[in-house]
């Protein structure tokens, strides 16, 4: 038997040949309990009942009990009754299977005797046997039993009540530990709607009415089919241990604990979930082997009982970097683990990083405080979009760095030009105005070198790509299309020829002007002293003009570039959609002025209202200083500016991360509790991991969120992922219907780990002693109906 709640086949409606005593020709063939046992084992049925019509085959029960060994299918005492409803004044009866908690020799005889005495007192023959609900109450009020009527088929419980009092029928069913057998899928909705009208509001619109079908087998040799039509029975499964209490839990919570075998097959896990951990010869932990459910595993216990220790041991054993086992100072070398796919235990299991979610206590709130939601992004499968977003910010940083570098580069030119020679001497003026003659120079032709190179590159590319386009293997061309390509090729060729003429003429002009300059220079060098002096002065005048022109030209470039910094918004937002309700936002806030940061690095500011352009002009002219650096060179300005804007540029390396919710609010303006709820809900719903570890997920979560959202998430998710939760919250354990509960106790610094299941009564008591409010939660779990209201 597995130590955790797992699915097992159940068949609580099997006939023996005793049914022929009360229903003529009701059984086919010869009944043999050993043949049936073999068939049950062959079909992997773990729990069954023999339910003859209005009679109990005591001998079959005794035979089975006397030969029972551990591992055999477990047999509960049962009977199928014909039940009449005298108040309806109808002669028809309905069938209901009654299955008792009892499973021993004495009880079989006692229950059988009660049944026989009742019919004897009523003077009813075997073939006419029937019973009322009041008779059942009187006979079996000291027993625990299940009432499982037929519904939606022959001998349905509805038949006697139709036209009489259907609500009375529903109330009776609800007041008993009841399930429905033989219900067609098509009529379940009608049943649910009827029961919803008399359930309390908090249990309405829930899929919590138990429906379960059994074989109703009448020939053990052809088990599991019936004798009606020979069709193979579709087995149903119950989750838990093969016990009466497991059935009770299943009837209380059918959505989590009753499924067709075909549905269970779909839920079967074959991924590499964590199978077990083995502790041997540990100085602190008692020797034990813990087996893990592939579904929901909860770790509970009192203070310092070893809950988080076990959590971190498992983290270490799956090689998760977030395990904090080191803080315990405990040698766990002898603890070994095994995964579902492993044959033997090993010191460590290496899972892929994206297979595991591992959240320590307090991590979720820390994610927001540290502005890092990367774990959520990875788990949601959006890591590539995250990388793209980070690259976008790197590009923005590069663009901003280029903008600042360009400013320094322009300042360098401005600094050089403003510190150039702007002097024109009196002697030069006299020489320029002298009557001596000279040969005047010719203005240079515009330099088209870059333009010509770009045009030439374009023509080369066009010709190359046109040929590649024509010969591409992934498409073909019609004759008309080929003609279009030829026309375009001819156009490119004609432009190329024209361009050759333009460059040739330009080259001739350049050569002509350069030759003419040389002639003028030669002639001027042969002039008299006055003429040569006038030539020199004219050259200095040309240089002065050039310096002045360059000063204005550079100043204008600086002014235009500085304008970009005046109201520069350098940050940005990148949004990564996780699901319809939540997005992760990466943001760099443009909270500081780059202009202000640059100016902060300077001294002797004459006015706070100066533009950056005015500041740089004054700096280049020496009217302002760079703090702690001399002179005002571009190199020193670059050093100071780098220091000043470093904090802003660093923002792009780690953008602020926060959640944006569908209601247009964000985690920046919500409480830690609300954000934790949204984070946990998102990472559970959107995840693509295989195993989830969370230490105390209820931290910072509201009870309403836990009971209304988290529980439903866990109940759905646990059949898709293996979950480990350290928790103090009874709702998570009980309403979450945990398949495996690990109880941690610490006695005189010796830690003991035990495995519990919810369907074990003794385990329920211990769970209640550890979890505050546990008893209340167990009681509420079964509180579907307002009993006082029904009785009234």
pLDDT surpassing 60 at residue 789: no
pLDDT of residue 706: 84
pLDDT of residue 132: 93
Contact of 10 with 246, CB cutoff 8 Å: no
CA 511, chain centre distance (Å): 73
Q: How far apart are CA 82 and CA 154, in angstroms?
A: 12
Bridge partners (DSSP) of residue 77 are: 50
- Give me the sheet containing 45-50, strands edge to edge: 145-149, 93-100, 74-84, 45-50, 6-14, 236-240, 258-260
pLDDT of residue 567: 87
Cis amide prior to 224 (ω within 30 degrees) = yes
pLDDT surpassing 50 at residue 370: yes
Mean pLDDT on 728-748? 92
The whole-chain average pLDDT of the chain stands at 88
CA 713, chain centre distance (Å): 11
Please tell me what DSSP assigns to residue 228.
T
Q: Is 526 exposed, middle or buried (0-12, 13-18, 19+ CB in 10 A)?
A: exposed
pLDDT surpassing 50 at residue 790: no
pLDDT surpassing 50 at residue 254: yes
Contact of 677 with 701, CB cutoff 8 Å: yes
pLDDT of residue 200: 66
Helix (H) or strand (E) holding 10: strand 6-14
Q: How far apart are CA 168 and CA 416, in angstroms?
A: 102
Mean pLDDT on 682-690? 78
Q: How far apart are CA 576 and CA 655, in angstroms?
A: 13
Please tell me what DSSP assigns to residue 44.
T
Mean pLDDT on 392-420? 93
58-66 vs 105-122: helix crossing angle, rounded to 10:
180
Q: Which ranges of 601-737 does DSSP label H, i.e. alpha helix? A: 612-620, 634-651, 672-686, 703-705, 711-717, 730-734
Task: Give pLDDT tens digits for 128-148.
Answer: 999 999 999 999 999 999 999
Reading the block at residue 559, the tokens are 């002014």
In this structure, of 95-99, 395-399, 423-427, 485-489, the range with the lowest mean pLDDT score is 423-427
Q: Is 91 exposed, middle or buried (0-12, 13-18, 19+ CB in 10 A)?
A: exposed
The label of the residue with tokens 């280049």 reads 620
DSSP-derived pairing of the beta strands 145-149 and 93-100:
antiparallel
pLDDT of residue 197: 73
Q: How far apart are CA 612 and CA 615, in angstroms?
A: 5
Q: How far apart are CA 648 and CA 39, in angstroms?
A: 76
The residue among 704 and 22 whose pLDDT is bigger is 22
Task: Give pLDDT tens digits for 35-93.
Answer: 999 999 999 999 999 999 999 999 999 999 999 999 999 999 999 999 999 999 999 99
Mean pLDDT on 111-128? 94
pLDDT of residue 31: 95
Q: How far apart are CA 134 and CA 699, in angstroms?
A: 50
Cis amide prior to 635 (ω within 30 degrees) = no
Task: Give pLDDT tens digits for 156-188.
Answer: 998 898 888 888 888 788 777 789 898 877 777
DSSP-derived pairing of the beta strands 274-279 and 288-291:
antiparallel
Per domain, the residue ranges of the chain are 11-267, 275-371+663-791, 383-418+539-653, 439-526
pLDDT band at 438 (very low <50, low <70, confident <90, very high): low
DSSP letters for 70-126: TTSPEEEEEEEEEEE-GGGT-S-EEEEEEEES--SHHHHHHHHHHHHHHHHHHT--G
Q: How far apart are CA 654 and CA 659, in angstroms?
A: 16
pLDDT surpassing 90 at residue 764: no
Reading the block at residue 516, the tokens are 């003419």
Please tell me what DSSP assigns to residue 40.
H
Mean pLDDT on 440-453? 81
Q: 538 vs 268, 435, 543, CA distance in Å?
A: 97, 13, 9
DSSP letters for 375-423: HHHHHTT-HHHHHHHHHHHHHHHHHHHHHHHHHHHHHHHHHHHHTS---
pLDDT band at 687 (very low <50, low <70, confident <90, very high): low
pLDDT of residue 703: 81
pLDDT of residue 183: 82
Total-model pTM: 0.75
Contact of 10 with 236, CB cutoff 8 Å: yes
The neighbour count for residue 556, using CB atoms within 10 Å, is 11
Q: 529 vs 540, 752, 760, CA distance in Å?
A: 17, 113, 122
Instruction: Return the closest-CA partner of residue 560 out of 616, 604, 509.
Output: 616
Q: How far apart are CA 216 and CA 196, in angstroms?
A: 29
CATH dotted code for 275-371+663-791: 3.40.50.300
CATH dotted code for 11-267: 3.20.20.140
The label of the residue with tokens 């046109």 reads 466
pLDDT of residue 788: 47
pLDDT surpassing 60 at residue 792: no
Contact of 86 with 110, CB cutoff 8 Å: no
Mean pLDDT on 501-527? 86
The label of the residue with tokens 């039993």 reads 145
Mean pLDDT on 724-739? 91
Q: How far apart are CA 568 and CA 612, in angstroms?
A: 12
Contact of 362 with 679, CB cutoff 8 Å: no
């Amino acid at each position: 038997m597995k130590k955790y709640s797992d699915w097992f086949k159940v068949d609580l409606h099997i006939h023996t040949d005793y049914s022929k005593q009360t229903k003529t020709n009701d059984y086919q063939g010869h009944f043999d309990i050993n043949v049936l046992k073999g068939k049950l084992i062959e079909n992997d049925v773990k729990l069954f009942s023999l339910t003859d019509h209005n009679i109990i085959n005591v001998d079959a029960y005794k035979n089975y009990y006397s030969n029972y060994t551990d591992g055999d299918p477990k047999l509960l005492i049962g009977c199928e009754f014909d039940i009449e409803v005298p108040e309806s004044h109808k002669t028809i009866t309905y069938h209901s299977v009654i299955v008792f908690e009892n499973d021993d020799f004495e009880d079989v005889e006692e229950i059988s005797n009660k049944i026989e005495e009742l019919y004897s007192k009523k003077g009813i023959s075997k073939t006419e046997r029937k019973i009322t609900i009041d008779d059942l109450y009187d006979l079996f009020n000291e027993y625990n039993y299940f009432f499982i009527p037929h519904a939606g088929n022959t001998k349905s419980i509805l038949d006697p009540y139709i036209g009489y009092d259907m609500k009375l029928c529903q109330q009776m069913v609800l007041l008993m530990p009841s399930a429905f057998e033989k219900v067609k899928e098509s009529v379940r909705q009608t049943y649910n709607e009827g029961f919803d009208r008399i359930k309390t509001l908090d249990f309405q619109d829930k899929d919590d009415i138990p429906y379960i079908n059994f074989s109703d087998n009448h020939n053990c040799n052809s088990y599991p089919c019936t004798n009606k039509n020979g069709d193979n029975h579709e087995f149903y499964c119950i989750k838990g241990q093969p016990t009466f209490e497991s059935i009770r839990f299943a009837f209380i919570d059918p959505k989590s604990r009753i499924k067709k075998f075909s549905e269970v097959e779909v839920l079967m896990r074959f991924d590499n979930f964590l199978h077990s951990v083995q502790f041997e010869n540990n100085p602190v932990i008692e020797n034990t082997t813990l087996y893990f459910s592939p579904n929901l595993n909860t770790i509970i216990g009192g203070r310092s009982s070893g809950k988080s220790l076990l959590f971190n041991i498992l983290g270490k054993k799956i090689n998760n970097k977030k395990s904090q086992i080191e803080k315990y100072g405990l040698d766990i070398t002898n603890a070994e683990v095994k995964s579902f796919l492993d044959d033997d235990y090993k010191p460590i299991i290496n899972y892929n990083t994206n297979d595991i979610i591992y959240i320590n206590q307090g991590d979720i709130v820390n994610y927001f405080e540290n502005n890092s939601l990367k774990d959520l992004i990875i788990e949601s499968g959006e890591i590539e979009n995250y990388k793209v977003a980070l690259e976008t910010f790197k590009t923005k940083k590069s663009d901003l760095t280029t903008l600042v570098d360009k400013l320094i580069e322009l300042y360098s030119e401005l600094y050089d030009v403003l510190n150039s020679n702007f002097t024109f001497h009196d002697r030069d003026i006299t020489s320029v105005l002298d009557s001596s003659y000279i040969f005047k120079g010719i203005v240079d032709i515009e330099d088209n070198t870059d333009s010509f190179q770009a045009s030439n590159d374009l023509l080369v590319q066009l010709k190359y790509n046109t040929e590649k386009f024509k010969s591409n293997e992934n498409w073909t061309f019609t004759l008309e299309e080929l003609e279009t390509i030829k026309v375009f090729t001819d156009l490119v060729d004609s432009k190329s020829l024209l361009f050759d003429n333009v460059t040739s003429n330009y080259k001739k002009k350049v050569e002509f002007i350069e030759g003419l300059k040389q002639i003028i220079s030669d002639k001027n060098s042969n002039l008299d002293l006055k003429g040569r002096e006038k030539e020199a002065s004219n050259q200095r005048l040309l240089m002065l003009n050039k310096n002045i022109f360059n000063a204005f030209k550079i100043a204008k470039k600086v002014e235009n570039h500085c304008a970009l910094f005046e109201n520069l918004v350098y940050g940005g937002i990148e949004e990564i959609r996780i699901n319809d309700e939540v997005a992760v936002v990466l943001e760099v806030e443009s909270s500081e002025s780059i202009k202000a940061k640059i100016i902060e690095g300077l001294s002797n500011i004459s006015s706070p209202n100066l533009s950056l352009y005015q500041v740089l002009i004054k700096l280049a002219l020496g009217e302002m200083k760079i703090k702690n650096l001399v002179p005002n060179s571009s190199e020193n300005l670059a050093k100071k500016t780098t220091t000043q804007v470093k904090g802003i540029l660093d923002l792009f390396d780690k953008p602020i991360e926060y959640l944006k919710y569908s209601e247009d609010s964000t985690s920046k303006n919500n409480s830690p509790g609300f954000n934790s709820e949204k984070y946990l809900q998102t990472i559970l719903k959107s995840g693509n991991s295989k195993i989830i570890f969370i230490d105390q997920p209820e931290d910072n979560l509201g009870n309403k969120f836990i009971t209304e959202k988290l529980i439903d998430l866990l109940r759905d998710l646990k059949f898709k992922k293996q979950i480990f939760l350290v928790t103090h919250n009874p709702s998570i354990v009980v309403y979450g219907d945990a398949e495996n509960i690990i109880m941690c106790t610490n006695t005189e610094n010796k830690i003991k780990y035990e495995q519990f299941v919810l369907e074990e009564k003794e385990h329920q008591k211990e769970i209640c002693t550890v979890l505050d409010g546990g008893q209340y939660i167990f009681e509420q779990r079964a509180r579907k109906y307002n009993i006082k209201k029904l009785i009234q």
